[in-house]
Structure 1
């Protein structure tokens, strides 16, 4: 690797429920030493799920880091030892009350590679059936269903303002263009 940075020392600054923060001393490709603050995250999934009438299932929730409510596709953190597809099925049911036996992976992406190793695996779910909503004790969500046009308007208004949801909406739009 041409630009590899070798970690020569590492200090854990914080170990949390969702993320850990580590400070790395690294040797740069030119031999100099620098510091890197790295947020470690176990990874996550996001699910773009469709109702029988082709609406997209989303959730509205307050995001403390942003100090506002946003609308997102259902998503959640990987648990230790859990495969992304299992997490996607679990999170879909927990947040929306819908279950599926058919998930299609549409891609993965790193959220902020400059300081975090978090990767989000995005799935698509079409054939849904009733399950049970079981949000976490500290999780409050409102279920909403939108058309693709309504999703575009929510992006324009800033109500949808996160990468995973925008990535999923773009996927749907491209897929529809390819299939027309």
Structure 2
């Protein structure tokens, strides 16, 4: 936070839990506004998650089709999953890639992070790219059903334009992928996971 942001910052005065589930919690806070008045903020706390962009040697990427109950439709998306308590994001990404797709990767690169819904959620998604993929057996969780397939970046961009692909994390990853393929952005690839920078904070 910059010192120049002081006129924007809200300060928490009180907090209450509205709902606590298996991994989501809804809270209502009373905050002091920059002008001295008070207001309430309702939001969801989330442990964070990881999304992986798996690059095949032929130029295609590995994606999934999965039914998402809250929106009531089958979604096209990149492999992703929530962080376990205290889990390193890269470890989570490696685990989710293997469990959901059966692939493991020779090289990994951290692309950054994104906040999924800043108005009402604490969720942070860590973005990783993976290449040098090797196919193995999927290890889906109990009650998890999804299809895995490969698509070209051009297909994914077409689907995002047509409205077939509307998942926010996957659209953000497509921006990264498009800039990576054009040479506008670069990634720092590593075969040794210990050399990959860890998220700040």
TM range (shorter): over 0.9
Output the CA distance in 1 between the equivalents of 2:64 and 2:41: 34
Contact 1:76/1:87, CA 8 A, preserved across alignment: yes
Two-structure CA RMSD over aligned residues (Å) = 1.3
Q: What residue number does 1:137 align with?
A: 142
Between the aligned partners of 1:133 and 1:99, the Cα distance in structure 2 is 10
* Structure 2: distance between partners of 1:22 and 1:101: 41
CA distance in 1, matches of 2:13, 2:172: 36
Q: Which residue does the alignment assign to 1:48?
A: 53
Q: Give me the whole-angstrom Cα distance separating, in 2, the residues matched to 1:13 and 1:37.
A: 9
Which structure 1 residue ranges, 5 or more long, are not aligned?
none
Distance 1:121 1:108 in 2: 4
Runs of 4+ with deviation above 3 angstroms: none
TM-score normalised per structure 1: 0.94
Q: Give the aligned length.
A: 179
Task: Give yes or no for the alignment of 1:74 onto 2:102.
Answer: no
How far apart are the structure 1 equivalents of 2:7 and 2:24? 29
Q: Which runs of 5+ in 2 are unaligned?
A: 1-5, 185-201
Correspondence for 1:157: 162
Provide, for residues 138-178 of structure 1, a one-character-per-residue CA deviation record: whole Å limited to 9, x for no partner: 22100010011111122123221112111111212112222
Q: Quick check: 1:69–1:159 contact (8 Å CA) kept in 2?
A: no
C-alpha deviations, 1:96-149, integer Å up to 9, x for none? 000124210112110111111100011100111133312222221000100111
Q: Which moved more, 1:42-51 or 1:2-11?
A: 2-11
Measure the CA separation in 2 of the matches of 1:141 and 1:18.
21
Give 2:130's aligned residue: 125
